[in-house]
Structure 1
Amino acid sequence: MNQAIVVGLDGSAQSEAAARWAAREARRSGRALRMVHVVDEDSVAPGPPGAPGARLPEAVAGIRDRIAAALPDLEITCERITGSPSYALAAAGERAGLLVLGSRGLGGVAGVLVGSVGLRTAGHARCPVVLVPDGADGTVGEVVLGVQGDRPCDAPLAFAFEQAARRGTVLWAVEAWTPPAGPYATEAPLEPPAIKESLAADRLVHLQDALSRWREKFPEVRTRAEVVGRGAAEAVLSASGSASLVVLGRRAPRHPMSPPRLGAVAHAVLHHAACPVAVVPHD
């Protein structure tokens, strides 16, 4: 059987939204759901196994119970573990291949998991991390893939196509492109706007080529490709208005202890998108 999808819980509304998203994804993919509540090891008082300090907080247990009642056929486990939260969550997700977290914190202790820790986890985890805002209702819309660079990477493309296939929805690949500053050296007397249009058309052909191999693997997925002349974060956020999921790539850390790094585009999208955002590491 496939490994369980891991979702981090802290009892907040954001983590409950993440648990509901993860539960739907588990059911779509035929996987179990593993709920994890992480307690910072420095804050845990020593005590015998089974002592009250080892119990799940009431808010976390309540989320578990509501998900189990809504999806009685879904295999669910829920456990409390100790450790440095971002590294414990990343490790749990890496073993399973997918980690889901709430995307906004509440401030103070209750909001640490889904706020700063959530961002740090997405910045160094070696598996895809989906961050889900409170209010994400599971509506089926496009899967938006933000494409950057001359060589779109396989890991984000594969994840986006798989998600679109499971949802039976359109994959919308968006590439932000800024034309190079003039002057332009050409043999024909073209005006700069015409040159820019020609260069943009070339970028679109390049993007379509990058999608073509994945269209062959997922023939049921309808695709849309667009090259837009605006900033990358603005382009993705504009496309995400009706999306059910945004997928972004992130270069994987070279060393397990490398500092977390999301990049400016992912950071901006995570703070402003109204739908879940998947951050997918790649080489």
Structure 2
Amino acid sequence: MSHAVVVGVDGSAQSAAAAEWAAYQAHLSGRALRLIHVGARPEFSVEAADPAELLPRPVLALRDRIVEVLPGLRVSCEHVPGSPAEALVAAGDRGGLLVLGSRGIGGLAGLLLGSVALRAAAHAACPVVLIRSGTDGRGDVHGGVVVGVDSSRPCAEVLAFAFERATERGAVLRALESRELPTGGYATDAPVDPPEITSALAAAAQVRLEDTLAPWRKKFPEVRVAAEVTGWPAGKALVEASRSASLVVVGRRIPRGRPAVPGLGAVAHAVLHHPHGPVAVVPHD
């Protein structure tokens, strides 16, 4: 299924939450949902005529529950042998979306701390959404979408993804940019006081951010946008914003000429390790 929402499932409660979030996202965007179970092929099922026999019962029960709740959703469920990280990265095509839970069973514990999910977020060709353990499957559907922005190097892929998700949810999009601003306690020969300099720099940064968002506001006129410049470090600001957001969106730069080297930057890395809700990592040039 081209451009589907793909979710890794293993029978755990965490992957079930990820599957519920993915099903809701597929429903909102009109895409199909692919449930992928990765692992060794069970010896007793080598001759199985029905591929469903390769899947754990909790996974099949999860599929049936999703079909019951969202009867119009196209849902497929399959077993894929091999390494979880490699198989899931391969399953997510460039136009699709890959969703993973914060932890799995067995050796997949602590995904947000650097295992399968972290590797998938660093290598997948498509956006990857990581669902924090304990998060409701749909996330906070009443919260807004938050996107980290750098007005000096705006990323079209990241902004497009964020605006599209806000459109689907009818949510406010909070565009958050981090800028280091002077806070006083320094000498200056300027004919104004330091607080006035700080205020002027903050105002200029706000104008640059608004200019960056202007063409996107025009393209998505239905989206309510709140542009905010903060003096906090970007990672800290986005983690704090995730407390009330339905989704936080960050970018991942794809290294040119070095495809084997992950491009997960410091900001994305920080947000993935300390989120309070779902986080989307969007690859961009």
Task: Give SS of 2:221's match.
Answer: coil
The 1-side partners of 2:150 and 2:42 are apart by 43
How many aligned positions are there? 279
The 2-side partners of 1:87 and 1:110 are apart by 14
Query: 1:260 Cα deviation (Å)?
Result: 2.9
The 2-side partners of 1:114 and 1:57 are apart by 24
Aligned residue number for residue 264 of structure 1: 266
Relative to 1, partners in 2 of residues 1:11 and 1:254: Cα closer, same or farther, differing over 3 Å?
farther
Amino acid at match of 2:279: V
Identity of aligned residues (%): 54
Aligned residue number for residue 243 of structure 2: 241
Aligned residue number for residue 22 of structure 1: 22
Equivalences for 1:51-66 in 2 at 5 Å?
55-66=54-65
- Mapped pair 1:231 → 2:233: yes
Task: Give SS of 1:201's match.
Answer: helix
- Mapped pair 1:210 → 2:212: yes
Query: 1:219 Cα deviation (Å)?
Result: 0.2
Deviations 1:86-143 (A, max 9, x none): 12211211255211111x2256425376761011100111210011123333222110
The 2-side partners of 1:223 and 1:190 are apart by 33
The 1-side partners of 2:232 and 2:47 are apart by 56
Query: 1:194 Cα deviation (Å)?
Result: 1.6
- Mapped pair 1:33 → 2:33: yes
Aligned residue number for residue 3 of structure 1: 3
Q: Which moved more, 1:60-69 or 1:176-185?
A: 176-185
Task: Give SS of 1:143's match.
Answer: strand
Equivalences for 1:109-148 in 2 at 5 Å?
109-111=107-109, 116-137=115-136, 138=138, 139-148=141-150
Q: Which moved more, 1:66-75 or 1:223-232?
A: 66-75
Relative to 1, partners in 2 of residues 1:184 and 1:34: Cα closer, same or farther, differing over 3 Å?
farther
Equivalences for 1:28-177 in 2 at 5 Å?
28-39=28-39, 48-50=46-48, 55-94=54-93, 96-102=95-101, 104-105=102-103, 108-111=106-109, 116-137=115-136, 138=138, 139-148=141-150, 150-177=152-179
TM-score, structure 2 normalization: 0.87
Amino acid at match of 2:27: R
Q: What is the CA RMSD across the aligned residues, in angstroms?
A: 2.8
Q: Which moved more, 1:139-148 or 1:166-175?
A: 139-148
Task: Give SS of 1:249's match.
Answer: strand
1:15/1:114 contact within 8 Å kept: no
Gap regions ≥5 residues in structure 1: none
Query: 1:245 Cα deviation (Å)?
Result: 0.5
The 2-side partners of 1:253 and 1:63 are apart by 37
TM-score, structure 1 normalization: 0.88
Gap regions ≥5 residues in structure 2: none
Relative to 1, partners in 2 of residues 1:94 and 1:3: Cα closer, same or farther, differing over 3 Å?
closer
